[in-house]
Amino acid sequence: MPTKPSISTEAFLELTQGTAIDPLLQQLEQQTRRTFLPALAEHMGPPAKGELFRVENLTKSYGTGAAYREAVKGASFAVHQGEYVVIVGPSGSGKSTLLTLLAGLEPPSRGAVSVQGNRLDAFTEEALAWYHRSVVGLVFQNFNLLDSLSVLDNVAFPLLLSGVPAAEREARALELLDSFGLAEFAGFSPNQLSGGQQQRVAIARALVHNPLLLLVDEPTGNLDSKSAQTVTQSLAELHKRG
């Protein structure tokens, strides 16, 4: 039977909605718990400060009648400043959907996401555009980098959309690439980089506008174990730097 998601104070959100789990997926899940989570635990930073995000009784359903399905079912938790939240659960348990709701890319069916006390569903279109542009940063499993642009331009791209002047865009993008040890690849095309390097470029791009919340959806899902480790380490170091 479906159970409610729960969260520990160490910011560990687990989605267990009674989805039928394929044995292979179950194995992958256990692998994640064994490798990814302990690696993170080693690098965990200082305790959380003020509350930034609050999710209350969040539900997202799709379909009607026999096709009705609740992808996220009554999730409630808070995310504090400086917190590193890891969401785990079998495939289909609603992890990506939850991130989509936190990113304000889709409205919930019930419940609410609030950022510093402001409910996202009360935002005007303009405020929501600002939220996407400046408050959250998104990283996906498959990088979503543009091979027709250089690595530097990929990272700087969100600033172009915000109207930041070219010199400032490039300086900021280069600074971030440097912090991920990727400055020497600034002029390369993303497809000339390894998967782990591309994912770190994608993280740099998501950080370029200094988001309040970085949302990362299965960042190591497409990577071999060594690249996965470099990405996990980069995220942990990023969290430590604050």
CB atoms within 10 A of CB 81: 14
Please identify, using beta-carbon distances, which residue of 174 and 214 lies nearer to ligand ADP.
214
C-alpha torsion 98→226→188→154, nearest 10: 10
Shortest reach from residue 202's CB to ligand ADP, in Å: 18
For 98, the token pair is 């939850």
How many whole angstroms separate alpha carbon 80 and alpha carbon 116?
10
Q: Which residues contact 233 (CB under 8 A, 6 or more apart)?
A: 39, 43
Which residues are bridge partners to 59 per DSSP? 110
Shortest reach from residue 100's CB to ligand ADP, in Å: 7
Please identify, using beta-carbon distances, which residue of 62 and 130 lies nearer to ligand ADP.
62
Number of residues that bind ligand ADP (CB under 6 A): 11
Shortest reach from residue 88's CB to ligand ADP, in Å: 9
Please identify, using beta-carbon distances, which residue of 96 and 114 lies nearer to ligand ADP.
96
Q: Which of 91, 134, 141, 150 binds ligand ADP (CB under 6 A)?
A: 91
Residue 93 contacts ligand ADP per CB under 6 A = yes
Residues 54-83 that bind ligand ADP (CB under 6 A): 62, 69, 71
For 162, the token pair is 């915000």
How many whole angstroms separate alpha carbon 53 and alpha carbon 73?
18
List helix spans (H) across the chain: 23-31, 37-43, 95-102, 125-130, 151-161, 166-179, 195-207, 225-241
**Residue with the closest Cβ to ligand ADP?**
71
- Only segment of 47-55, 88-96, 200-208, 230-238 that touches ligand ADP (CB under 6 A): 88-96
Please identify, using beta-carbon distances, which residue of 16 and 189 lies nearer to ligand ADP.
16
Entry field: residues in the chain:
242
Query: What residue ranges bind ligand ADP (CB under 6 A)?
Result: 62, 69, 71, 89, 91-97
